[in-house]
Structure 1
Amino acid sequence: MESVKNDDNAGGVPEISISAPTRSGYKIVSVADFGARAEEGYCNGSAFQNAIDYCKQERSSELVVPSGVYRFYNGNHPKFEEMHDFQFDGGNSEFIFSTAEVFFIIRNCVRTIFKNFTVDWDWESGQLASIGLIREVASDRTYFDLHFPEYAQAPGDMNLRTLNAMNPLTLSAGCELGREFNENHFRSVSRQDPNTFRIALSNPEDFRFLNPGQAYIVRHYIYDANAFELKSNQHLQIERITVYSAPGHAFVASGDQRHWALRHCRIVKRPGTTRCISVTADGCHISNSLGYFRIENCDFSYNGDDCLNIHDNSVQGFKRIDDRTVSLNRVLAWRNPFALGDEIEFRNEDLSPAGIKERIAGVEWNKEHNSCTLTFEKPIPAEVSECAILFNRRYDSGNYIVRNNFFHHNRARGILLHSGNGLVENNHFFMNQGSAIQIECGSESRWSEGFGVSNLRIRNNLIDSCDVNHWNMAVIYMGVYLAKGRTQYAIFDRVWIENNTIINCPQQAVYASSCRRVYIRNNAILNSNVGRLKSHADGDENGVLHREYYQGSLMASHCNEVRIENNRRLSTVATTEDHIYIDYETSTNVNLLHNIGFN
């Protein structure tokens, strides 16, 4: 076995400093001066917007809100655009919304602070999700009866968008080997009694897992409207904001967004309610941005998707029109924002560099067919495959610090990382349905995300009872998704996983692949591999195909220069696996040193 250099130089996590507003004079304005009222049935949209526009015109330093509960109707929601050196203080007020449009838009602002308020959806106007219980399942699986215990009479017109398995005791997302399915599987829905619907299934043979007594989070909204859309802001600070619910993501950052922070923010269920969800999608979704952000001392929970998702979007496959022009399918302007002057890097099907970078000279969108035509400044060499993957190098959502946060009880991953130059430390992950930390890159028909991850430190985190559904094989998972499977190309480079405590994971603690210079060391692993092994009969909807390929508590494959040392494993219950497994057919230069408790 070759020696792996014990490299402690992570290249340095960049300094991420965020400038406060600069003020030559201090002028405070109140929304009350423009007619805002904390009254039931009164729409505050115009009053708030008039106050915002006045502050922009008069260069006011601060807009304040007298404490109260303010309602917004008919999509008349606040928009902060091109504000400079400005602060919005919500005065610990609540803002309630009942229209599925963005709650707050913050766009093209410079040196601004938003703080001290709560936002929520009006659940009296329609629940975002409901608890559903399986009461009866036909012996031939042609139908099942779904009961909604929260209602006196369940609405007949509510959308049953997805059913996500939940623990019937804790009423939180995920349960061992739990399954998910959506309305595409339904042949018909009919009411049986005021709170129960009979759902006929299109493919009964796929639903052998259904049994009376199972509980589900039934989402009626998914990606319908976000609480905060943050676009192309610089030096933005969001502090002490609570999101009780929204019919989409809580925070979305994109565009020329850079140097910004979330501090002491919460995404939690409203106390005193029977709600089974907070926001119906991600807690914080960062996409096609310029990075340099901090997320610190936040609490993200009960999300309908990932707590935190950091990525930029790629696209695979093109068709040549001429030597400088290509057409792309399965692209959307918001997801793949190609623009004049953007530098596009062409990657091979295995994510390795093709050695070609060209700038865009023209873009033409066909939104009806989800396609576009790109014209480049120079010809694209004929040897570049039409199956190539395109990275838009205008964007890089990397350079971040994620520290001292609590990520828990959500439907998917704690953190999904597709970008590098990051520090993830001192966070607590608890009962996330998927991996606590998933490091990923890939391209397929549904998703094409990530340009690779380099220079990442994951340290001093507590990971407890995650991967609840046996979602992705490991609570810290590093891998690609590609049409041809795993790649030998090291799209992940210089990653440190150290001094973490991992407790009670049903499968592997750590899986690393398609990587080089990865250091897994000084971690405490307690009761890993405590769930029963999944079989083909359990299905693969929520995770990786060919689970029989995965062995051990720690595993590495398709890798080079990996060092696994000074990790300690302890089991107090029966486990299915208890060793470190290296796939030496796909891996080279792996060192195992001074690990304790592994066979």
Structure 2
Amino acid sequence: MRKVTIWFILFVWTSTVFAQKRILMENLGVSQDKDITPIVLEALQQADFKDAILVFPKGTYHFYPEKAIGKYHAVTNHDNSYKYFAFPLIGCTNIEIDGGGSDFIFHGVMTPFLVENSMGIKLKNFSIDWKEPFYLQAEVLESNALEQYVDIAVNPMTKTEFEGNRLGFVTNGLSLPFLGESMVFDPKTNAVAYNAQSYLLNGVASRKTFDQSLGGNNYRIKARFAKTPAPAGLIYIFKGPNRSNRLAPAIHLTNSSNLHLDKLNIYHAGGMGVIAEKSENIHLNEVNVKLREGSGRMVSTTADATHFCNCKGELVIENCLFENMLDDASNIHGTYVKISELVDKHTIRAGVNHIQQFDYNFASSGDKVEFITNETLLPIAPATVKSFKKINDHLFELSFVEELPATLKVNDAVDNVTWYPTTIFRNNVVRNNRARSILISIRNKTVIENNTFSSMMTSILFEGDLNHWYESGAVDDVLIRNNIFYDCVYGGGKGSVIWINPRMKQTLKDQPYEKNIVIEDNEFRTFDNSILSALSVDGLIFRNNKIIESGTYPKLWPGLPVIEVRDGLNTLIQNNSFEGKEKARIVIDENSSRSLKIDKKQKGFVIDKK
């Protein structure tokens, strides 16, 4: 029976592959000197949106929004708007885009690839870039900490404009009236600058700058900086006001399945590189979010390299390079929706609370969910969705097969547990970016192995949240092994290389939030103290790891312990080594000490039980 099944699957797969029609784009008139957006649509229509391979001859091709398919479109963790799509893979089956090693250059605010309500899509062998970057880049000429100003030379790749005494910029048809969110890079390392958070100019401060032209592309920015303006030689990046700087992700995957991205270079996007939601079975191989060599640019994507919200099946991310983003390399999570009304014994009203999640389709009939208590983020009871009715872009009505739990109340939450993937993140390099390397908030098995991490904040973060981004959920089976962590958490903020930090209002000492996290056979080669900080974990194992002080930078947080465990159960710390100028402190609180197993003969450590 098993042999018959395997041969049947192989027959169906090979039949499907050979049934694909090859459409040679050169026969449709693609050329390097015109807008080929309408030609792509013609090719898809010719194939009836199914069973075809669109093959490009190697070249440089330009795409513009004026003749692109468009619609009002919601993208989670982005700014919703009317959007234009160069490759509208909507309702497609078994479509492959083979770029043949080509450069795809985009102009204006548009989304290069939309994969929506589709299955069996493969994207391979091309690069994505924009003619103009979605940010302003400027070198510091002089800074004055006493008078709180900085003189900058703006890179001419972006045009500037003034509104009164406030500097703004124009890019891709967007007029951004003030500098907005900022980050500081070091051209010597090509990375975010050491202690960069001291130099930032964000939020209200960026709206109240008093700017003046110094002639040419040089300007003086007088403002309130986090601590002090950046010193001469460093590079400021400004990406404009929040709510208008995540408009153009490179690839959006939504409500689709069996998706394969292979050998892609994403040099830039005005948002995330790959954003996926409510999709199943996704494989990224050699999908690089990186700087184009010789471009002079300091930033790749202006948000995450990759992001996966409520996906399921198998998610594999391997052999990728993620560098110089203005946010995380990968964030993989579900969504908590907060209850606003208990309608009857089977029905609630709930909604998404962050504006960049508005119009999100949280659930469908038959989905399994859990009710979550607001204070502890712990489950109350499971349930099955009977119906999902959208009221508006942020509020919906959910009915369940079962009666609501008696203890359920307004401001508790619902977590859709049907939509979580098993995840493999392996053989990747993350470096030089703002924010974290990878965030994990998924309950299915996760393996993170054979990677190299060096981000300005935490490398691996576990953080359930019912306060800001509303990203669920608690992990239950994570293996972190054979990775190298090099000079992480260098941006100036407090944090650990691996930080288990669920954001609940209270922890229950006998019911931890996270479970079964194994960290083994890794090398931590970094300058600062805090390697592991863990809150509310049952079954944390930290063993066979090597920690070496690099001495690359002065320590930012010398008072922090190397390992700290709070409100944990069944923690094992075993056979680790530390090489540094002083002994490495391990701090364990009283509650965690009761079930702690620790090898007291580990090299270079001292144990401090509180």
Output the TM-score relative to the length of structure 1.
Answer: 0.84
> Which structure 2 residues correspond to residues 394-405 of structure 1 after superposition, within 5 A?
394-396=418-420, 398-405=421-428
- What amino acid sits opposite 2:316 in the alignment? R
Is structure 2 residue 119 aligned with structure 1 residue 95?
no
- Note closer, same or farther for the CA distance 1:127–1:260 as it changes in structure 2 (3 Å cut): closer
1:179-578 equivalences under 5 Å are 179=198, 180-185=200-205, 186-193=207-214, 194-199=216-221, 201=223, 204=224, 207-210=226-229, 212-213=231-232, 215-220=235-240, 222-255=245-278, 257-328=279-350, 330=353, 332-335=357-360, 337-348=362-373, 349-367=375-393, 370-377=394-401, 379-396=403-420, 398-419=421-442, 420-430=444-454, 432-444=455-467, 446-484=468-506, 489-527=511-549, 531-534=554-557, 551-571=560-580, 574=581, 578=584
- The CA distance in 2 between the partners of 1:516 and 1:106, in whole Å, is 39
**Superposition deviation, residue 197 in structure 1:** 4.1
Decide whether aligned partners of structure 1 residues 283 and 196 sit closer, same or farther in structure 2, where only a CA change above 3 A counts: same
* Residue in 2 that maps onto 1:544: none
Aligned to 1:11: none
Aligned residue number for residue 590 of structure 1: 596
Query: Could you tell me how far apart the structure 2 residues matched to 1:20 and 1:440 are?
Result: 43
| 1:472–1:334 Cα change, 3 Å | farther
SS at match of 1:53: helix
Q: Which amino acid aligns with 2:392?
A: N
- 1:84 equivalent among 90, 93, 96: 93
Asked if structure 2 preserves the Cα contact closer than 8 Å seen for 1:89 and 1:117, the reply is yes
Shift of residue 63, structure 1, vs aligned partner: 1.6
Distance 1:465 1:30 in 2: 47
Compute the displacement of 1:376 (Å).
4.2
1:352-389 CA-to-partner distances (Å, cap 9, x unmatched) read 2212525253423233xx43444445543442132322
- What TM-score results when the alignment is normalised by the length of structure 2? 0.83
Letter of the aligned partner of 1:386 in structure 2?
V
Q: Which runs of 5+ in 2 are unaligned?
A: 1-9, 69-85, 162-167, 170-175
Contact 1:467–1:505 (CA under 8 A) maintained in structure 2: no
1:401: how far off?
Answer: 1.0
What amino acid is the match of 1:403? R
Any conservation in 1 of the 2:388–2:398 contact (CA below 8 Å)?
yes
Q: Would you say the 8 A contact 2:261–2:285 is kept in 1?
A: yes
Q: Which has the higher contact order (CA 8 A, sep 6+)?
A: 1
Unmatched segments (≥5 aa) in structure 1: 1-16, 536-547
Closer, same or farther: CA 164–279 of 1 in aligned 2, 3 Å: same
Cα shift at 1:409: 0.8
Q: Using the alignment, how far apart are the partners of 1:176 and 1:150 within structure 2?
A: 23
Q: Relative to structure 1, is the Cα distance of residues 351 and 153 closer, same or farther in structure 2, using a 3 angstrom cutoff?
A: closer
Alpha-carbon distance change, 91 to 362 in structure 1, aligned in 2, over 3 angstroms: closer
After superposition, the Cα gap between the structure-2 partners of 1:481 and 1:55, relative to the gap in structure 1 and judged at 3 Å, is same
CA distance in 2 between partners of 1:324 and 1:289 (Å): 26
Q: Give the equivalent residue in structure 2 for 1:35.
A: 29
Residues 279-331 of structure 1, C-alpha deviations (whole Å, 9 max, x = no match): 11000111121141211111111111001111111134523344444343525
3-state DSSP of counterpart to 1:56:
coil
Q: Give yes or no for contact 2:525–2:550 (8 Å, CA) kept in 1.
A: yes
State the alpha-carbon separation in 1 of the partners of residues 409 and 435 from structure 2. 34
Residue of structure 2 in register with 1:169 after alignment: 188
Measured after TM superposition, the shift of residue 137 of structure 1 is 4.1
Question: Contact 1:264–1:298 (CA<8 Å) still a contact in 2?
Answer: yes
**What is the rounded CA distance, in whole Å, between the counterparts of 2:314 and 2:158 in structure 1?**
48
Worse-superposed segment, 174-183 or 106-115: 174-183
Aligned pair partner of 1:117 in 88, 110, 126 = 126
Inter-partner Cα distance in structure 1 for 2:20 and 2:361:
41
Matched, 1:52 2:50: no
Query: SS at 2:237's partner residue?
Result: strand
Instruction: Name the residue aligned to 1:130.
Output: 137
Instruction: Provide the aligned C-alpha RMSD in A.
Output: 2.9
Note closer, same or farther for the CA distance 1:521–1:135 as it changes in structure 2 (3 Å cut): same
- Partners of 1:495 and 1:71 lie apart in 2 by 46
Shift of 1:154: 4.8
The count of corresponding residues between Structure 1 and Structure 2 is: 550
Deviates more, 1:158-167 or 1:408-417: 158-167
Q: Distance in 2 between matches of 1:207 and 1:493?
A: 37
Do the aligned residues in 2 keep the contact of 1:23 with 1:61 (CA within 8 Å)?
no
1:104 aligns with 2:113: yes
* Aligned twin of 2:72: none
Moved more, 501-510 or 311-320: 311-320
User: Aligned in 2, Cα 1:97/1:388: closer, same or farther, shift over 3 Å?
Assistant: same
Aligned partners of 2:37 and 2:64 also within 8 Å? yes
Structure 2 residue matching 1:178: 3-state secondary structure: helix
